[in-house]
A and B are shown apart, each in its own frame.
Chain A
């Protein structure tokens, strides 16, 4: 071995720790340098992203089955970050006032992620109230009561009767259990071309549904007796919603309820046949159609 090599080896041995530490520091600095934009974006989104994720997961619970897509939240820090596609919107975050972003997201998440086509079946006041109510519910779920009441108060000031219609539909389960599916069915029949008459008729149905004093009960995997006992505890009428193989069970439950304190609504009272037979269209994650039956029962005492 030459003298130079020996000296080099000795140098390495003597300063091994220092050389290793310098190497590690160099690698870390290089990574930070090349990942600086990612790190800046992460730092920018660090407070907002968790809130956004919580908003989306809560929104999925508020409107099960009707979340069409989850908009991606992206940060723009430089001109090169601008997207090639035209985004839904640019939201500006003032430095040090990140809390402003929450009410912006609560306002725009419902319209950017759900009911994109079927909302056109609702007339203008109902449509506005629908989204005010969804933002109200979402704010409440996130514990942001101060923002929630702003949506409710504004809607009550603009369209008090229609806001109550949407609230009633939602609380009785009729919004997600009847109306939105009905909207999908009608939209498909009209092949997406909605006339003014379609809007008028659909909005009339929405208001009428809110007036009928029934609560929606989804017939699922539980026993007949479970549903009967649950329904007997209700003070109001019920509409049994059954899909696919549960239709037979719904008929049995309705028959037994009619032997107790319930009877069928007449066609005149409802404006449509009872039981209703139709199709339930699942749009997400992929489209499929199953047979559907709704049985409308009112209390006799």
Chain B
């Protein structure tokens, strides 16, 4: 994985090929696709919201509460 960090937001069509490529890039597998907050299985990609790929990747589903909780986890990172 590259270490240089940008502030870009990447918009991705939630298709298998795209998601698999991103997971591979960050040394993750489909099994890792669980919401870091509510632990929901996101491997069917229907409710995958966002992946924040640094440290141990933060994976969020599309529920408002989980997105907000993910943001709160990101708040301790000064990037």
- Would you call B71 and A131 a contact (CB within 8 A)? yes
Pick the most buried of A45, A83, A117: most chain B CB atoms within 10 A of its CB.
A83
Interface check A12, CB cutoff 8 A: no
- Would you call A90 and B50 a contact (CB within 8 A)? yes
- Would you call A86 and B5 a contact (CB within 8 A)? yes
Q: Which of A101-109, A223-231, A239-247, A292-300 contacts B (4 or more CB under 8 A)?
A: A101-109
Chain A residues positioned under 8 Å from B14 (CB to CB)? 92-95
- Would you call B68 and A91 a contact (CB within 8 A)? no
- Would you call A128 and B72 a contact (CB within 8 A)? yes
Interface check A222, CB cutoff 8 A: no
- Would you call B4 and A86 a contact (CB within 8 A)? yes
Interface check A119, CB cutoff 8 A: yes
A246 to chain B, nearest CB (A): 32
- Would you call A88 and B6 a contact (CB within 8 A)? yes
By size class, the interface of chain B is 35 or more
- Would you call A150 and B64 a contact (CB within 8 A)? yes
Interface check B32, CB cutoff 8 A: no
- Would you call B48 and A92 a contact (CB within 8 A)? yes
Residue in A closest to B74 when the chains form the complex, CB atoms: A111
Q: Mark B39-79, 1 if CB is under 8 A from A, else 0.
A: 00000011011111110000000101101100110111011
Main secondary structure of the interface of B (DSSP, over half): mixed
Complex: A27 Cα to B46 Cα, angstroms: 40
Tell me the residues in window 72-112 of chain A with beta carbons closer than 8 Å to chain B beta carbons: 72-79, 82-95, 100-101, 103-105, 107-108, 111-112
- Would you call A91 and B11 a contact (CB within 8 A)? yes
Complex: A151 Cα to B18 Cα, angstroms: 31
Interface check A120, CB cutoff 8 A: yes
Query: Which of A86, A88, A112, A154 is within 8 Å of B68, CB to CB?
Result: A154
Q: Mark A56-86, 1 if CB is under 8 A from B, else 0.
A: 0000000000000101111111110011111
B53 to chain A, nearest CB (A): 6
Residue in B closest to A72 when the chains form the complex, CB atoms: B8
Interface check A236, CB cutoff 8 A: no
Chain B residues positioned under 8 Å from A77 (CB to CB)? 13, 18
Contact flag A74-B75 (CB < 8 Å), given A83-B6, A104-B50: no
Pick the most buried of B12, B17, B25, B74: most chain A CB atoms within 10 A of its CB.
B12
- Would you call B67 and A116 a contact (CB within 8 A)? no
- Would you call B50 and A108 a contact (CB within 8 A)? yes
- Would you call A89 and B50 a contact (CB within 8 A)? yes
- Would you call B12 and A76 a contact (CB within 8 A)? yes
- Would you call A93 and B1 a contact (CB within 8 A)? no
A299 to chain B, nearest CB (A): 37
- Would you call A100 and B62 a contact (CB within 8 A)? yes
Chain B residues positioned under 8 Å from A89 (CB to CB)? 9-10, 50-53
A76 to chain B, nearest CB (A): 4
Contact flag A95-B64 (CB < 8 Å), given A85-B5, A119-B75: no
Complex: A131 Cα to B48 Cα, angstroms: 23
Interface check A249, CB cutoff 8 A: no
Complex: A272 Cα to B78 Cα, angstroms: 29
Give residues in A with beta carbon < 8 Å to B. 44-45, 48, 69, 71-79, 82-95, 100-101, 103-105, 107-108, 111-113, 116-117, 119-120, 127-128, 131-132, 150-151, 154
